[in-house]
Structure 1
Amino acid sequence: MGDLAKGTAGFVGRPSAAARYGVAVLAVALFVTIKLLLAQTSILQSPFLLLSAAVMVAAWFGGLGPGLLATALATVAGDYFFWSPFGSFTGPNLNALPLALFALQGVLISSLAQALRSATTRAESSALEAKSHQAALQESERRFRSLVQNSSDVITVVDAGGTISYVSPAVERVTGYPPEELVGKSVFDHVHSDDLEQGRRMFAEIWSQPGIHPPFEFRVPHKDGSWRHSEFLINNLLEDPSVGGVVINQRDITERKEAEEALSQSEERYRAVVEQSAEGLYLVDTVTKRILETNPALQSMLGYTADELRGIGLHEIVAHDRETVEANVERTLREGKRFIRERKYLRKDGSVVEVEIAASAIDYGGKRIICAAIRDITERKGTEEALRRSFGSLLALYEAGQILGSSLERDEIGLRLLEFTERISGLEAAILSLGDEQGRMSGWRGVGSEEVLAAVRERPEVRSAVDEVSKGGRARTIELRRLPNTEAQTALTGVFVPLRARGRVVGVLGAYGPPGLAEKASIETLSSFATQAASALENARLYEELAERERELRDLVERMMATQEEERRRVAYEVHDGFTQTAAAAYRRLALFAEHRPPRSARDREELEDAIDLVRRTVGEARRVIANLRPTTLDDFGLATAIRMQAEELRAEGYETIYEETLGEARLPATLETALFRVAQEALTNVRKHAQTDRVRIAVGLRDGTVRLEVSDRGRGFAPAEAKQEAGPGERVGLSSMRERIALLGGALEIRSEPGSGTSVVAEVPLVATGEGVYDGK
């Protein structure tokens, strides 16, 4: 039956339906053939028996459908072959009852065969599934047993009384005891005496609470007499019938504990080295930029306690901008190690300490941090600074003798003196006070910290020291306590030395800096500077008196020119507001009159149009006169644009005009712009009147601090020497006016001309001679 079921299952499992129904046809055909061979000897019912067997085979192998097909085929075959007359399905001798019984028998056989086949298949499938589950269970049990027996951890089962009921083979590797020596003994027999009381309390709690409990550590004995550290994880399964005990998972952590102990000792040695190190050490979080740990040397160096430094931002102790600090952190992380050289750190009291720093990126607590070591180099820097000052003093004294003696500018002498003073003294600030005509001293120039300069000017002791030095002519030293509103955190020393010239004190040099400024060498150096500067300042004063007279003359000229321009402006306004407005009104009235009352005759119309045109030209001429008197373009847009407008007017009049300029939109001093514009205006007027040409070139620009204007034409030219004698009064006035304007500004005007070769008018004026500043080109 089992083989038949396997065969059937294998056959039924085939995908082709034709094969299953083919079984039915073949079975019927086979049994019909057998019956035909035995028909002469068989009894009457033998066909039914044989064909029933065919139906049974077809139903069993093919299923219910093929079985029913076999029944139908067998019925037809029985009727055709075995009843008389043969081959007739409707003959009179046909016995329907046997056929019906046979068909019913076939259906019953097919149904029973199908039911039996399905039951057999299900039973066989259940048996196979049960066998598969049993094999899987056996494999799982084998695997679990292998894991338990080969596990590095010791698995122990203890009953409710604390007796060991099972222990895995790993116990021999961990403790040296074979499992059979431990089974049946109390679990407390293998706990260190120091841990026994705690162990009993813990197990009492474990037995009372089912489930998994937190891990803990105990010492357990080894068979060799030593004690091993173990970690225990316990699961109370007393209520589980399959276990009925407490399962203990024991892991040997002796090596880990020894490593931890070694690490702890190493950390203690490292901490001792760190705490006794003379260098400041700290750890900084690279994400938050906050300090994690520091050593006593750093705490002492910066004046903080360990708790104050822990968590403080790196930017709060480094006296550099945030961008530089961030860049050094990123570079150290990228390179792993970085020698950052010298830096400045901030103490708790706000003072600055010079340090040398080296930093490395290390792993700490599972993340990347930076370990930095800094060394205080303030003393070394002080020595270097003293040497630098000494050398700077000698060099500055040499330079001062050359520079102060070669300058006649009072400002330059004063500023140079302050620069030299600042170079050699390492000071916070310096002030040069000069006396007025009554001998009163007042601060003239200063260098250094603006806050310190502002603070010391208001101190009574400073004013008293300056007055004392100016009257007595001897150096004076004072000490200034902490100044308000300044960054200076310690006291400043003030040194005051006199500036003597021709037997009198002309000024006082005040220097403010560290206490070293009051040393004899520093005072002597400052006095040497003051002596050289006093002589130079006296020479500069005499030179300034002469220059002042020249400036007064220049101011007078400028005021005169300004008066002329103001008069032109006034006349222009009067012409504009009076004559021009009247002429414009007359023009509009005549135009309206012509529009509303046109003359009847052509002659009257012509005369009226001539009158209107005359008035229109009068208005235009008046506006041109106003523009020439004071062009608004010059005031609004500057010289370059104003001359360009002149050139465009020439083009509109039919002149071939070339205009070149390199000033752009930059402005020159107003006096210079006005003078050059008037020269260009006069020169272009002469071109219109006398040149007899239509080709004109205008060029204006700035080069090497000099403004140059040139107006040239290709006209008939003239002889300048003869022109002075032959020219009319107006012409002489025009040429003279141009020369005077330029000469008064410290420039020169040149007229180049020959008969038949055209004329060139060139004006050059240095900017420094105008007294109004310098070119502000943009």
Structure 2
Amino acid sequence: MTEQAGMQEMYTLKTIAETLNTSNDLNLMLDTVLGKLLELTGLTTGWVFLIDAQGDYSCVADYSLPPALLHHDKEPMRCGSCWCVNRFRDGRLDNAVNIINCKRLEDAVDHQWGDTHDITHHATVPLRSGEKMLGLLNVAAPGKEHFSDSELALLQAVAYQIGSAMERMRLYSAEQRRADLYVRLGEFSRSLGVTVNDCNSGDDMAKTVVKLLGLHYDWPFAALLSQKNGSFMVQAAHAHGKSEMISTSGLSPEVENRMYRVIDSHRAMVLSTTDIQDVSAICNNQFPMSVLASGLAAPIPLSSPGETAVLVVGLGSANDFLQADREVFDALAEHITASWESLRLVYKRRELTRLEERNRLARDLHDSVNQILFSLSLTAKGAESMLAGSPQLHPAAEAMKDIRSLSQEALKEMRALIMQLRPAGLESGLLSALQEYGTGQGLQVVVHRTGMRSLPQSIEEGLWRIGQEALNNVRKHAGVPSAEISLQLSDQEAALIVTDRGKGGAKRRETLPSNSLGLSIMRERAQSLGGRLELVSSSRKGTSVTVVIPLPSESV
């Protein structure tokens, strides 16, 4: 190489290096550097292919293409294959090489797509950064059929510079993406913190989470999957700016196994195209599943023992920063888990507030109305005694007797109401509390229990209230001094059965119709817990009240 040629090569490399540092936009950089390279080397035409790990290529930059390659919106550059792309896919293209008879130009001539400007050959140079292969740089000129070793070496050096610049830009864009995602995470957390106290149930929380994800992030699809009866169901989903209706069908066994692996890993995992499209498919939407190229899934531990939900988002094909999304998605899952725990504490505070209010009301009733009724009963009894001592029965004596009887009955009702407002004895178990309550009502209560497992506080208190009302009905209407209570526990449900051998039948219907307040309250309590209540009454066999409540899964 002559000194002048060496100086020209150094000048070319210097100019290319300066050009590569003028922009952080990949397409603009490639267009600019390609034009500068052709100007310095005396070549006229060039193009750049980027090729991904799956072997799919795209022409991201071109300069002065002949009309034959511009046919039908550059169709020859977008479709088909050629020798250089095939060798790149096979891993056999390591250095700059001469290409004989470019297949894309040959096809253009065969199909008469236009003038080729007498270009038949081009040089192909792989773009790489270290061991990472990125794509191809192709350059050509009219009538040029061979590139010398020095020309190929220069093109190789320029390709290394371009590859390094592309990797630098990728890292820069990834950091920009990561920073942007963390900013969105802060906004998401603030919005979730404001709205979490307005959620009245886990379903409300799930809908709020996916809605805020759609609002603050550019992920095209988001869903929250919950475990129910040993399988996963979509609890809430959000796509193309709106919440989606969920179908009753479940996930495929393969995707369910992947969800369990996500739970076991305790970290965010990447979902394949098939996995994320399977999750999206069970939502009743018109969402184009082809938009979802991959996805992310992360576990969300819930407050109930042994229950873990899975948060899933779908990523579009244009997302090239999967690692940044995965890192932020992990942090996002932790924020949602903390908010779910905050919601549980809100429930606890509300429940404590209700208990305190019931206790306050019970104390006020005991200190005011209860004492007044007790005084009224004593006064009526004293007046009845005074009137009974007269020689002739006073007309008001019978009235005093009725007043005393009514006041004692009202006192008993008030004490039962106070007991309902301020439950005592649940610490020793539901059956013990009901047995003690029945004894206080003058009933002999026999209890039975089958199965062993813990009951959530809300379910235990609901069964306690229903059992109280059932025992009250036995005392008021059955006409017998005894009742039997059975609690049957399984992995899936709890059944509380209160039976008596009282009047039942038609007489019971007169005093306890299906629309009675007490029975309506019991039914509402059972339905609020997701259960059902059944009443069976017979003049021969008495009355049986059965309430069945589904139970959440319990950890081993």
TM-score (norm 1): 0.25
Higher relative contact order (CA 8 A, sep 6+): 2
* Structure with greater Cα Rg: 1
